[in-house]
Structure 1
Amino acid sequence: MRILVLGATGYLGGHVAERLSALPGVRPLYGGRSPGADLPVDLATARPGPLAEALAALAPDAVVNCAGAVGGDPVVLAEVNARGPAVLCAALREAAPAARLVHLGSAAEYGPGRPGERVHEDGPTRPAAPYGATKLAGTVAVAASGLDAVVLRVGNPVGPGAPAAGLPGSVARALLRSGPGPEAVLRVGDLSPYRDFVDVRDLAEAAALAATRPGPLPAVLNISGGQAVEVRELVHALVRASGFTGRVEESAGGSARSAAVGWQCSDVSAARAALGWAPRHTLADSVAALWASIAAEPLAAGPGGVR
């Protein structure tokens, strides 16, 4: 089975590609802007016709689209998160209409949740910022494509190799730079919001199941831990894992996107029914793996502190 992973050199795509490579009978193919990719492509600028020709040559049985942008101005977000999936769907309809498409969406598409409640896939979508809005546009493009497609609406990924662009990775790197002394200060933003974290390895397992599962799948499936956790709990778990003995100050400015969403939690029962999937890693597992991966990196220069 030939499965093309787009964005295979990114955080999520790298874990998905690694999981697929471990499956018997699966040959992963890699797409993206990196040299040596089986499909050299940037979905933000690709044209449907040339992309269709390249896809036809590869003849994938399934495509997992992990390409996406989490930061940048609204134009960049729209090009990558909205235009990209639409172009991919148009090309697949021409080149490989029978291929399964697995697209990674985001729980940010839901927007603010109601405290104490888990949102189902048919819940209202009210994204609070351009990121969630552009991810929702990508989901709509995939769902309306007529392809054999499923969108995995992913919670907040955490685990080994988390990038500095997200809170878990940025906090871990700030702790690494801060040092162990009691005089050290870790400055963060407001840690009171609740988020639904999912281990990146569990996400990779869900993507692999969705790509290889025979038969039709629902248009959208929530992939998350299924539990709302105060962000403060994540940060203090990282503090404990790092051995940091200084002070944590919630004095830095946080992102407007995070401030607008005080509660986020998804119901994952549909993914359990459709894929036989459930999250296996606890938050403690994720934090331990994240810290081990960051601690093994070359020490980053610069003062501690995250936003």
Structure 2
Amino acid sequence: MTRVLVLGARGFLGAHVAAAARAHHAVGTVLTPTRHELDLDDGVEAVGAALRRTVPDVVILCTGRLDGTITALTAAHAGAVAVLVEAIAGLTDHPVRLVRLGSAGEYGPVNWGDAVREDDPTWPVTAYGASHLAATHLLRVAVMGGALSGSTLRVFNPVGAGAHGPSLASQVAVRIRRAQLEGKREISTAPLTTWRDIVDADDVARAALAAALVPGPLPPIINIGSGRAVSSREVVETLADVAGWTGQIREDGPAPDRSAGVDWMQADTRLAQRALHWHPRRSLTDSLRDVWEGGDHHHRIPLLTKDAS
């Protein structure tokens, strides 16, 4: 039975990955250390010692940042991978696979209507996307050099129970709930002109477990998305239906930085289907209902104030 170590198990996607691992028949032990128990910021030697103590067969890296300075983003993504790669490479008597959750932000702008493939050019337009791309390159170089096996799953726009932060769905859910509580009949969002590939967090978790457990070498990069672009307006209108909201939705807020320069994004998921025998199962409505209700993870929707993206 496989021993799986999930880093970031208390975060949004990490919680889904840990839950999927615990439910998987081929997983014997699921390790979910706190940051006090295993902190990537402590460096290669400390992380290597923690890995020797826990002896995982697979590490699934779900940590990261959604915003921050260039330095902070680079440390959270590329720096974390660098530490893990070196620590794992030092475990000469026990091979370990590293699966990391990357981002569709690594691609940058793509042609309208195209489904982006893993071998398409990458031109990220934000520090967030660039830092993820650097991490992807570091892992690929390590795998090519034989230091370890592994893959980056380029996750598109994940939505589901426990979603938080600057995502469109979580921010609009906050605003609808606040309006309902305060008896207001309108909410404000950024212009709903972008199109995104929305993928359910539970589907992402299944993909991560598939990458952890599938035998043989993995492709270095695998897109994990729904394979369908939906308009931001459709996302908001579907969420409003789920919430029973019939008030006005004004599109007069500022456009978010994270969406700058990228109007369209859709994943080509054929490689995931071939390499992982994976395909998305859950609908947009399923995902948004989990955002609204909290789903199985029972996360309360916080009253945040950032602009929806």
Equivalent residue for 1:75, pick from 68, 71, 78: 71
Counterpart contact for 1:106–1:153, Cα < 8 Å = yes
What is the Cα deviation at residue 256 of structure 1?
1.9
**Is residue 47 of structure 2 the alignment partner of residue 51 of structure 1?**
yes
SS of the residue corresponding to residue 144 of structure 1 reads helix
SS of the residue corresponding to residue 4 of structure 1 reads strand
SS of the residue corresponding to residue 122 of structure 1 reads coil
The one-letter code of the counterpart of 1:65 is: L
Counterpart contact for 1:104–1:153, Cα < 8 Å = yes
**Is residue 19 of structure 2 the alignment partner of residue 18 of structure 1?**
yes
Counterpart contact for 2:174–2:303, Cα < 8 Å = no
What is the Cα deviation at residue 32 of structure 1?
3.8
Equivalent residue for 2:114, pick from 98, 112, 117: 117
Instruction: Measure the CA separation in 2 of the matches of 1:272 and 1:216.
Output: 15
**Structure 2 runs not aligned, ≥5 long:** none
Instruction: Measure the CA separation in 1 of the matches of 2:226 and 2:183.
Output: 34
Query: How many corresponding residue pairs?
Result: 300
CA distance 1:277–1:303, change in 2 (3 Å) = closer
The one-letter code of the counterpart of 1:99 is: V
Matches within 5 A, 1:165-244: 165-179=166-180, 183-244=184-245
Instruction: Measure the CA separation in 1 of the matches of 2:303 and 2:83.
Output: 39
CA distance 1:148–1:236, change in 2 (3 Å) = same
Partner residue, 2:84? 88
RMSD: 2.0
Counterpart contact for 1:111–1:125, Cα < 8 Å = yes
- Consecutive aligned runs of 4 or more in structure 1 exceeding 6 Å deviation: 302-305
The one-letter code of the counterpart of 2:55 is: A
User: Percent identity at matched positions?
Assistant: 38
Equivalent residue for 1:138, pick from 135, 140, 144: 135
SS of the residue corresponding to residue 145 of structure 1 reads helix
What is the Cα deviation at residue 302 of structure 1?
7.5
What is the Cα deviation at residue 273 of structure 1?
0.2
TM-score, length basis structure 1 = 0.92
The one-letter code of the counterpart of 1:253 is: P
Q: Which moved more, 1:173-182 or 1:183-192?
A: 173-182
Partner residue, 1:286? 287
Counterpart contact for 2:7–2:63, Cα < 8 Å = yes
Instruction: Measure the CA separation in 2 of the matches of 1:249 and 1:160.
Output: 25
Partner residue, 1:28? 30
Matches within 5 A, 1:240-255: 240-255=241-256
CA distance 1:250–1:90, change in 2 (3 Å) = same
Instruction: Measure the CA separation in 1 of the matches of 2:102 and 2:306.
Output: 32
The one-letter code of the counterpart of 1:164 is: G
TM-score, length basis structure 2 = 0.92
What is the Cα deviation at residue 271 of structure 1?
0.5
**Structure 1 runs not aligned, ≥5 long:** none
Instruction: Measure the CA separation in 2 of the matches of 1:51 and 1:208.
Output: 22
Instruction: Measure the CA separation in 2 of the matches of 1:298 and 1:121.
Output: 35
